[in-house]
Copies of this chain bind each other. A is one copy, B any other.
């Protein structure tokens, strides 16, 4: 058995409990494990997941078999456990499949196994103003894969990190972002320069204060991670402010479930337009996942279009929107910190709202660079580092 090809995967699946029995039933094989758990596997599922080189191309580790090419009622002629503890199935049409017990346990879909996987999923750690800010060192992140993994886990689970010791040459940001993956381009470029400009095409490029927001809520998929790198910061003001949008959404859910529901249900349009582009996205401010957990915040008052909901819903939406903004202004949620040259913020743009106090360009120069990396890239890099 070629184990590498057999998994169609780069993960390892250690043996946790051995298989002790395999019992054929009408539409499934029911296996029993050394800890007493029983797991049913339907015939279609087993045939579909056959890891043999005829069914999975070993170079790409991608499936070649399409399940529709075997009969819907295909059943085993025989099932047994072999000397290495694998589940072997001889199919009625002569095909043979062999399943590693570590892999099989990791993919078992009895209720208990599924519940176990759910419990083991990474969880967001909510925070308020007293967050112990996770701080990392640039040089270490560039050299050390373990440190890199710790940083990326903090970004994933806490959603706000700071990196220090970053070179202050323009473009340096690229090198550290690319420790994760390629940069997500936008109409503002691959890297964007946050400076006060006379012909600003975004309020970000003025000296105004910016209220708490996510970047590019005008796109179907808001950028996953945002980097903000300080090159020069001689101007008075311009402190960075962060809040955990998930913590605020949960606080709203507690104190005013009706307002929370309105922000989950009523879509709002965000717009970003200039001479060359016109982006619009209609989506609720709070998105929930399949389990009802807060999964995403979409918010930027300065990019919002006129509310468009029914006459009955309009007062409900305004009440909820006002309450949400009021919460973002409460000191208990707000982490305020001035970024110094050579420091950068890396945060979850779909969770951690960011703001900037107004600054006074007459008092000195201020130059930040920013870029985006998508959440797919973060999660992929974490999985590769964890192999």
- One complex includes copies of this chain to the number of 2
Residue ID in chain B nearest A9 by CB atoms: B273
User: In whole angstroms, how far apart are the Cα atoms of A205 and B202 in the complex?
Assistant: 42
Q: Are B315 and A62 in contact (CB under 8 A)?
A: no
Interface residue A19 (Cβ < 8 Å from any Cβ of B): no
Known pairs A63-B301, A111-B311; A380 contacts B203 (CB<8 A): no
> In the complex, which residues of chain B have a beta carbon less than 8 angstroms from the beta carbon of A17?
none
Which of A127-135, A225-233, A277-285 is found at the contact surface with chain B? A277-285
Interface size class of A (residues with CB under 8 A): 35 or more
> In the complex, which residues of chain B have a beta carbon less than 8 angstroms from the beta carbon of A45?
306-307, 314, 318
User: In whole angstroms, how far apart are the Cα atoms of A304 and B107 in the complex?
Assistant: 14
30 A-B residue pairs with Cβ-Cβ distance under 8 Å, sorted by A, are A9-B271, A10-B278, A27-B315, A42-B314, A45-B318, A57-B203, A59-B198, A59-B199, A59-B206, A60-B200, A60-B205, A61-B273, A62-B302, A63-B301, A63-B302, A68-B329, A107-B308, A109-B307, A110-B311, A111-B311, A114-B310, A187-B380, A219-B376, A220-B374, A267-B290, A273-B383, A278-B383, A279-B379, A279-B380, A280-B379
Residue positions of A touching B, CB distance < 8 A: 9-10, 27, 40, 42, 44-45, 48-49, 57, 59-64, 66-68, 72, 107, 109-111, 114, 117, 181-182, 184-185, 187, 198-203, 205-206, 208, 211, 218-221, 267, 271, 273-281, 290, 301-304, 306-311, 314-315, 318-319, 321-322, 325-326, 329, 374-376, 379-381, 383-384, 387
Closest 9 CB pairs of A and B: A278-B383, A221-B221, A62-B302, A44-B318, A68-B325, A62-B203, A277-B380, A107-B306, A219-B376
